[in-house]
Amino acid sequence: MSMRINQDGRPQEPGEDDLLKKPDVAQWLGVSVGAVDSYRKKGLRAIKLGGRVLFRRKDVTTFLESRAEDGTGDGNQG
């Protein structure tokens, strides 16, 4: 993922509306690009722009939160 730099030369914090390419999402999550494709089939929202598939950072975060387990170890989501 490319890092944006503020005018004062310091790294800029990522914003929730940042658009990420599929390889960026895969790198961020530590998974393969194929896994990102699988997540799309399971509900990860994406934006198709021409031939490109882009992901809003907040949509990836929302998807991850929806997949979080409740901590009981029984696989229930909650």
In terms of phi and psi (left: phi > 0; alpha: psi -120 to 50; beta: otherwise), the region of 66 is alpha
Q: Give the total number of structural domains in the chain.
A: 1
71 occurs within a structural domain = no
DSSP 54-65: EEEHHHHHHHHH
Using 50, 70 and 90 to split pLDDT, how confident is the model at 23?
Answer: very high
30 occurs within a structural domain = yes
27 occurs within a structural domain = yes
52 occurs within a structural domain = yes
Residue ranges of E strands in 1-78:
19-21, 47-49, 52-56
14 occurs within a structural domain = no
pLDDT at position 69: 83
* 4 or 55, higher pLDDT: 55
1 occurs within a structural domain = no
7 occurs within a structural domain = no
77 occurs within a structural domain = no
AA identity, residue 49: L
Q: What would the mean pLDDT of 7-33 be, rounded to a whole number?
A: 79
Q: How far apart are CA 63 and CA 16, in angstroms?
A: 13
What domain range is 24 assigned to?
A: 19-66
Predicted TM-score of the model (pTM):
0.69
